[in-house]
Amino acid sequence: MTQTAAPSEQLERSLKLPGAIAANVLNMVGVGPFLTIPLALAAMGGPQAMLGWVLGALLALCDGMVWAELGSRFPRSGGPYHYLLQAFGPHSYGRMIAFLFLWQSLLIGPISIASGAVGFAEYAGVLHPMTSLQAKLLAMALCLVNMAVLYRPIRSVAAMSVVVMSAVLATCVWIVVSGALHFNASIAFSFPEGAFHLNRAFWTGLGSATLIATYDYGGYNNVCLLGGEIQSPRRNIPRAVLVSIVAIAMLYLAMNLSIIGTLPWQSAQHSSAVVADFMRAIHGTWAARTVTVLILLASWGSAYAILLGYSRVPYTAAVDGTFPHFFAKVHARGHFPTTSLIFMGVASAILCSVSLAELIAALIVVQTLLQFMAQCVAVILLRRNKRGESEESFRMPLYPLPVVVALAGWAYIVTTGQPRHIAIAIALGAAGVAAFLLRARSQQEWPFQTS
């Protein structure tokens, strides 16, 4: 049973701080770090790829402060829509820039969900080899199962998230401890000749490695998409963002160092299941199979958490009147978006036909050009006009340094990216501007207002 949200209707604020942190951590610790370590090693041709993980952690922390301040000012579901609208002007350019976030989310949301599902299917091949078609069908099925699992009130979803998060973190700790006990510095730091020559290949490789690391750290913003369902949001949103970034950054760096200190990078860069190979080398086949099952749990949890967050975005746009009204339908008893959830689940299943590497690269470049850089500017504008500010609002330390670092990091990732992904972002943005102008003209809204 569903109903359409009235303007005064609110989603239920029942997600406490542990559930908010769990929603972020599950989004961050998916299959990404377990699959992308070989991609980063190959991008830089050696263990110097760890530089990409360090830069990615720095970028995540600085960008996380941007999200924390914005989320604290405007603690509403579909957060970035409200941040951009208020920062750039709710009656002028803010309408177009906020619309572009909503527009790109119709692609970025399903891409993010699909990447977790595709990663799940690829790692499942360790337990049972599959054809390419079978793997794609498994990924699609996972998206649809998650859609069914999330078709319930946020309270039960939060409890499940905390349980899965505990299992995910235990898996990562097992990997780190195993690596620490068998760490070999001569393997970890066997840099190839010319590894640190600051030529074009170095900077391009570092950009690729940082892009991969950024994808793996991504998800610390998930709680901002759920802003309307967080208890004490002005305090708990910043806490959830920053705690999850620091904890996961430390865990990832330790996990990467453990693996490259046990498996020679020359073979690790070609592995399709590097963590399974790592555990097999230390403990044997039983450990490889066990960690694979746990990684599948992590990747499932990640795809599930991403779908949870992005399912709130079209809902928010519809309630605001920007998207078709049917996206505003909520469940009469469960108080969760229904049509929006179904759209994201089905669209992500369709995109599971695309390769993981393409999904990751397109995701980061499109989001950077159409959202992340705009949000950095939004913080500066909101500091000036003081919209959304209250005594409880989070204010980032060392402002504006974190904003400058985040902007520089995003610009570096884009300029070292593949031209086709930049072209996709530009084309998507141009189509979004055209769609906005057509809608504004038909509604006689800015910039076509007659009075």
Residue 113 lies in domain: 22-443
pLDDT at residue number 157: 63
pLDDT in tens, the chain (451 residues): 444 544 434 567 878 898 888 888 877 876 677 778 888 999 899 999 999 999 999 999 999 999 999 999 999 888 898 999 999 999 899 999 999 988 988 888 899 899 889 888 888 888 888 999 999 999 999 999 999 988 877 666 666 667 777 777 888 889 999 999 999 999 999 999 888 999 988 999 999 999 989 988 988 998 998 888 888 999 999 999 999 999 999 988 999 899 999 999 998 998 878 888 999 999 999 999 999 888 888 788 878 878 888 888 888 788 878 888 889 898 887 778 899 999 999 999 999 998 887 888 888 899 999 899 999 999 999 999 888 888 888 999 999 999 999 999 999 989 888 899 999 999 999 999 999 999 899 888 899 886 5
CA gap 139, 133 in Å, rounded: 10
Kindly state whether residue 1 falls inside one of the protein's structural domains: no
Kindly state whether residue 393 falls inside one of the protein's structural domains: yes
Kindly state whether residue 11 falls inside one of the protein's structural domains: no
pLDDT at residue number 30: 67
Alpha carbon 263 to chain centroid distance? 28
For position 134, which CATH number holds?
A: 1.20.1740.10
**What is the count of structural domains for the chain?**
1
Is residue 365 a contact partner of residue 414, using CB atoms and an 8 Å limit?
A: yes
Q: Angle at Cα 396 formed by Cα 390 and Cα 400, nearest 5°? A: 115
CA gap 71, 220 in Å, rounded: 12
Kindly state whether residue 2 falls inside one of the protein's structural domains: no
Kindly state whether residue 264 falls inside one of the protein's structural domains: yes
pLDDT at residue number 56: 93
Kindly state whether residue 448 falls inside one of the protein's structural domains: no
Kindly state whether residue 109 falls inside one of the protein's structural domains: yes
Kindly state whether residue 8 falls inside one of the protein's structural domains: no
